[in-house]
Amino acid sequence: MFRRTAEGAALLALLASSATAFAQIGADRETTISEARAAIARGDKAAAIARLEAASIAWPNDPEVLRLLGSAYAYAQRYREAIATLRAAQVLAPEDLDIRAALARAHLWSGDRDAARRELAAIEARDPGNADLAAIRNQLALPQGERATTRRGVFASQSVARVTPDNRPDRTWWTTTLGAFGPIARGTTLSVEAEREDRGVAVDTHLLARVDHQFSPGWRGYLTAAATPEADFREQWSIRGGIEADMSRRVTLLADVRHADYGQTQVTAVEPGIRFGVPALRSSATLRMINLWDERGEHRSGWSARVDTGTRSGAGLFAGVASYPDTEAGITRRVRSVFAGAAIPVSADVTIRATGEYERRVDTYTRKGLSVGLQLRL
């Protein structure tokens, strides 16, 4: 009798342990999917892909995981991988119309409109009122290569800084920034902004336009032109360009060049750099070397280091430190700074950003600043 009771207790314990294990596996799966969705919502495609690739190994026959991974590949313009992954998901769940809709989008974005239309016809045959049909048809109506999923938006920020000049009383500086961004061609985005900096004794309004272009899935570049009408301490005009090249999933090479004109003087800067990514930790570290030829044509050097990481809630945290030559009012000084901040997605369309910074400009002033910004995607 005792033996039967002991065996029964052991069996119950085993069943309870198995139930707990299965519940934990399910919870881990849901957490992974939730983190991936949050990464996609904030535009961090690399983090989403890293989480979903790991999930596809842990759950190789899960059609939802494969659907999300295929969609993330498509967002990152990795169309062959997207289509292959979504095909695998379709084999596992042939009646799942969400997978078919994701496949239609991947075909469309890759340029294969006929394949996208075939997927739409199959969806319509099974569910004429499907919510994805109209949206994908609208994308098909756009010119070749243009994606309706490309977002537009506006942003604004307000900064306040307490400044301690070396030989004068403390003062407060205020900076207000307004801007907007949106697509202008396939793989190309234009952003414009106006920044008004009030230092009490002088006010400069800095105008900037920037074009970003995706040359291929692993190559990106940008070009910026800026001007400050009747400048007091900012440059009268400047131009800056740069490129990023993904050497692997974890290594990206960076290169930036800038030339600025202050009226009586000009400066040029060249900034090579490298970024190391750690997808499993949703983190990256960026290192840059800063080379500047100052108003006297002399070469000065510096460096900067920055760490970015994502949280499970979808927020992005960042911090950095730097020591570099910087020109203000045509005079170059050594600057040492440290900063930290966060970008918090309130929803898929709204992100709040806050940054705190300490800066010491040698033989000039010390500045302690705080900036709060808001970005709205339309």
Q: 332: domain CATH number? A: 2.40.160.40
Using alpha carbons only, what angle is made at residue 193 by residues 142 and 214, rounded to the nearest 5 degrees? Answer: 45
pLDDT of residue 45: 80
Residues 124 and 172 both lie in one domain: no
Q: In angstroms, how far is the first alpha carbon of the chain from the final one? A: 72
Q: Is residue 92 part of a domain?
A: yes
Question: What value does the CA radius of gyration of the chain take, rounded to a whole number of Å?
Answer: 26
pLDDT of residue 248: 81
Q: How many residues does the structure list for the chain?
A: 378
Do the Cβ atoms of 198 and 171 come closer than 8 Å?
Answer: no
Of 101-105, 132-136, 293-297, 333-337, give the lowest mean pLDDT range: 132-136
Residues 202 and 338 both lie in one domain: yes
pLDDT of residue 24: 38
Residues 203 and 65 both lie in one domain: no
Q: Band of the pLDDT at 37, cuts 50, 70, 90?
A: confident
- Amino acid present at 146: E
- Return mean pLDDT, the chain: 85
Condensed to tens digits (0 to 9), the pLDDT of residues 287-344 reads: 999 999 999 999 999 999 999 987 766 678 999 999 999 999 999 999 999 999 999 8
Question: In angstroms, rounded to a whole number, what is the distance separating the alpha carbons of residues 134 and 131?
Answer: 7
Q: Is residue 237 part of a domain?
A: yes
pLDDT of residue 279: 67
DSSP state of 150: -
Last-in-domain residue among 140, 161, 188: 140
Domain coverage including residue 125: 2-140
DSSP state of 168: S
Q: Where are the alpha helices (DSSP H) in the chain?
A: 2-41, 45-58, 63-75, 79-92, 97-110, 113-126, 131-140
Last-in-domain residue among 85, 112, 140: 140
Domain count, the chain: 2
Residues 349 and 260 both lie in one domain: yes
Q: Is residue 145 part of a domain?
A: no
Between 216 and 142, name the one with better pLDDT. 216
Location of structure tokens 């997605």: 345
DSSP state of 230: T
pTM of the model: 0.65
Q: At what angle do helices 2-41 and 63-75 cross, to 10 degrees?
A: 20
Residues 118 and 47 both lie in one domain: yes
Q: Is residue 28 part of a domain?
A: yes
Last-in-domain residue among 111, 140, 169: 140
What phi, psi does 136 have (nearest 5°)?
-70, -35
Condensed to tens digits (0 to 9), the pLDDT of residues 235-272 reads: 999 999 999 998 886 899 999 999 999 998 999 999 99
Question: In angstroms, rounded to a whole number, what is the distance separating the alpha carbons of residues 39 and 251?
Answer: 20
Question: In angstroms, rounded to a whole number, what is the distance separating the alpha carbons of residues 297 and 226?
Answer: 22
Of 54-63, 187-196, 336-345, give the lowest mean pLDDT range: 54-63
Residues 97 and 183 both lie in one domain: no
Q: Give yes or no for residue 129 having a pLDDT over 80.
A: no
Q: Is residue 77 part of a domain?
A: yes
Residues 102 and 208 both lie in one domain: no
Q: Is residue 147 part of a domain?
A: no
Q: Is residue 148 part of a domain?
A: no
Neighbouring CB atoms inside 10 A of 315's CB total 16
pLDDT of residue 48: 86
Residues 285 and 362 both lie in one domain: yes
Residues 271 and 326 both lie in one domain: yes
Residues 189 and 271 both lie in one domain: yes
Q: Is residue 204 part of a domain?
A: yes
Task: Give Cα 157 to chain centroid, integer Å.
Answer: 18
Choose from 74-88, 137-151, 180-194, 201-215 the range with maximum mean pLDDT.
201-215
Instruction: Report the CATH number at residue 7.
Output: 1.25.40.10
Q: At what angle do helices 97-110 and 131-140 cross, to 10 degrees?
A: 10
Q: Give yes or no for residue 17 having a pLDDT over 90.
A: no
Residues 164 and 115 both lie in one domain: no
Residues 205 and 115 both lie in one domain: no
